[in-house]
Amino acid sequence: MRVARLHAARDLRLSEEPDPVPVDGESLVRVGAVGLCGSDLHWWTDGGVGETTVTSPVVPGHEAAGTVVGGPWDGRLVAIDPAIPCGRCARCLEGDPNLCPTVRFTGHGATDGPLRELMTWPTNRLHLLPASMDAVDGALLEPLGVAIHAVDLSHVRLGATAAVVGLGPIGLLAIQVLRAAGARRVVGVEPLAHRRRAAEDLGIDAAVDPQDTATLAHDLGDGADVVLEIAGDDAAIDTAVRLARPGARVMLAGIPSTAQSAFPAAVARRKGLSMLMVRRMKEVYPRAIALVAGGAVQLAPLATDRFGLADAAAAFEHGAARTGVKTVILPQS
């Protein structure tokens, strides 16, 4: 099978490797689509994310779907949950498997990801998809899951006002999830005009450039009841704090390229904000599938650019340039 391995920053090599063989409890999956996440792009441009760096060649990716080969689900399309929590530690037993200290995660450390033609994965971490969805839809369920988890943490109430800072793929999905959760008004901040237009197409009430944040804050009056920061830099955190009303909840879901972030502590303290870190997602795939199947969330507008596996390096460069919304690699093409 063909495999793409990342050896260092901007060093992605395509090679032939033996087909993997599933063991008990695993399924063989022919990978149909892999979405490139912001964290994948950090791996590409920086050779790591925060304190974690590439120490040995790894197959990247964690947003994926494909078709099962063999076994009871032979021929069925599945979404691949990229996380394998231990299921035994205190965090897992308390219902927080996303905080498992020994979780295995695709494309991270020694766990190879899906940027290859075939992969084996625990069958209980695969999710059957309805006929209305294709492999690209299935791959986008992972960022949708992160958006769902962030909105869950926000405790958004019916009729609330919400702000999203960063209108990349997860931000665009968060807009839709916030609507489905009952938010009356949703606004956003994003420097890229084409992503603001995408947000408008998805029904956001207002999407502004960061330079217009003061005007947006004035329009909000007291501020937003909940704010989701999904950009991963200090300027976005600053914006999120300033858009929040006193007593609001601010979810920090963006992944910074460095190990430390800063925020306007004096403003946050005076407002009495609750600031929560968003760590991946919990067990939300069934809910994500239901939201898409029921029409509450649109995935198709996000997948703006598609590449074959042979052009994976070009796909990473394209994604890092942020000229589209979501870059997807199709390993079978």
C-alpha span between 4 and 206 (Å, rounded): 40
Of the pLDDT bands very low, low, confident and very high (cuts 50, 70, 90), residue 125 is very high
Classify residue 321 as exposed, middle or buried by CB count within 10 Å of its CB (0-12, 13-18, 19+). exposed
What does the pLDDT read at residue 51?
72
Helix (H, G, I), strand (E, B) or coil at 20: coil
The packing angle between helices 135-154 and 285-293, to 10°, is 110
Percentage, residues of the chain above pLDDT 90: 92
Angle at 123 between CA 173 and CA 149, to 5 degrees: 25
Nearest 10 degrees: Cα torsion 305, 78, 121, 30: -60
Domains of the chain, with CATH numbers? 2-128+299-330 (3.90.180.10), 145-277 (3.40.50.720)
Residue type, 170: I
- The per-residue pLDDT for 157 is 97
The whole-number pLDDT of residue 47 equals 87
Q: What is the pLDDT of residues 268-317, one digit of tens each?
A: 999 999 999 999 999 999 999 999 999 999 999 999 999 999 999 999 99
Single-letter amino acid code for the residue at 214: A
> In whole numbers, what is the pLDDT of the chain averaged over residues?
96
Instruction: Specify the pLDDT at position 53.
Output: 82
Whether residue 33 is predicted with pLDDT greater than 90 in this model: the reply is yes
pLDDT single digits (tens) 159-168: 999 999 999 9
- The band of 93, judged by pLDDT with boundaries at 50, 70 and 90, is very high
User: What's the pLDDT band for 259 if we cut at 50, 70, 90?
Assistant: confident
Among 22, 127, 20, smallest CA distance to 76 is for: 127
Is the pLDDT confidence value at 110 over 90?
Answer: no
What one-character-per-residue DSSP string does 227-258 give?
Answer: EEE-S-SHHHHHHHHHHEEEEEEEEE----SS
Would the pLDDT of 244 be above 90?
Answer: yes
Looking at residue 251, its pLDDT comes to 98
* pLDDT at residue 55 is higher than 90: no
**Predicted local confidence at residue 256, as pLDDT:** 86
Joined together, the tokens standing for residue 24 give: 């008990």
Quote the pLDDT of residue 296.
97
pLDDT of residue 108: 87
Residue 143 pLDDT level (bands cut at 50, 70, 90) = very high
How do 244-252 and 206-208 pair as beta strands?
unpaired
- The reported pLDDT for the residue numbered 144 is 98
Q: Is the pLDDT at 241 greater than 80, yes or no?
A: yes
**pLDDT of residue 49 exceeding 80:** no
Task: Provide mean pLDDT across the span 223-231.
Answer: 97
Q: What is the pLDDT of residue 25?
A: 97
Q: Provide mean pLDDT across the span 204-232.
A: 96
**Average pLDDT rounded to a whole number, residues 183-209:** 97
Contact 301, 198 (CB under 8 A): yes
Does residue 46 register a pLDDT over 90?
no
Radius of gyration of the chain (CA): 19
Task: Tell me the mean pLDDT in the region 209-228.
Answer: 95
Check if the beta carbon of residue 115 is closer than 8 Å to that of residue 34: yes
